[in-house]
Amino acid sequence: MINPRVYSAKDLQTMIKEADDATLRELEESLKHETRASVLSALAAAKRRMARRNEERVRVGALYDEMVRLGGDGVVLGVDEVGRGSVAGPLTVAAVALPLEPKILGLNDSKKLTPKRREEVAANIAEVATAIGIAHIPPKDIDDYGMAAMLRRAMEEAIRDAGVAYDAVLIDGNPVHVSDKEVCVVKGDGKVASIAAASIVAKVTRDHLMIDYDAVYPGYHFAESKGYASAAHIEAIQRLGLSEIHRATFCENFLI
């Protein structure tokens, strides 16, 4: 235990802000007779942060528990897609295998994370994941063969790209029939750790690609819309026509 009398209020605030959970508990015990308002305020804020971290650990722990319940304790690939409803750009699928430790705080349905938080969690996934596979299906193939067939192909390619022998494949949504070890989970990106990871990897990967396309095909607002049918994107289609990365069959109503 520290002696708070030998520290200035500013020093104690810094110690509290930088403390991990165990150190914060020790500081809280040492400061139980503290009266300086600035120190007490810093301690209260730190305790709130600790409570949020603990809640997040419980939430994420449940995602990992569900991953093991559905897929077992072997190599479990989570699979998810992004871009199915876009009118431009690829359909992108990611397949991700995670170890049970360390657990990645922030894992969630990618749509529930801010762009900044998605980037942070995606970086953590890249460091921790035991396997990551990515597949992109170009717009022309979607036009030629249809979304259902191309979704199946993209998942097969992403699973193959992951390059691991797997014990289970957990897929967000309805049955796709890409593996005899397939288990499908409706809204799985918010329930299962590896599917949540796949949703984030797919989203971040495709977003980067669409931002790059914005420079190649200026005027379509790809950096902002990511190829979805925003008002500005629709107006650009009507004014400029279709680019090489538009899905013509998805844009027919905009060209009338």
The whole-angstrom separation of Cα 77 and Cα 3 is: 51
For 36, the 3-state DSSP assignment is coil
Residues of the chain under the 70 pLDDT cut: 256
Q: What is the pLDDT of residue 41?
A: 87
Q: Report the amino acid identity of residue 137.
A: I
Ranges assigned E (strand) in the chain: 76-82, 91-97, 131-137, 168-172, 182-185
- The pLDDT of residue 123: 98
Q: Give the pTM.
A: 0.88
Judge contact between 238 and 250, C-beta under 8 A. no
Which amino acid belongs to residue 81?
A: E
pLDDT tens per residue across span 171-181: 999 999 999 99
- Give the separation between CA 212 and CA 53, rounded to whole angstroms: 35
Q: What is the pLDDT of residues 65-124, one digit of tens each?
A: 999 999 999 999 999 999 999 999 999 999 999 999 999 999 999 999 999 999 999 999
As given in the structure block, the two tokens for residue 21 are 């959970």
User: How much is the pLDDT for 20?
Assistant: 83
Report the 10 Å Cβ neighbour count for 67: 27
Two tokens, residue 250: 């998805």
Q: What is the pLDDT of residue 256?
A: 64
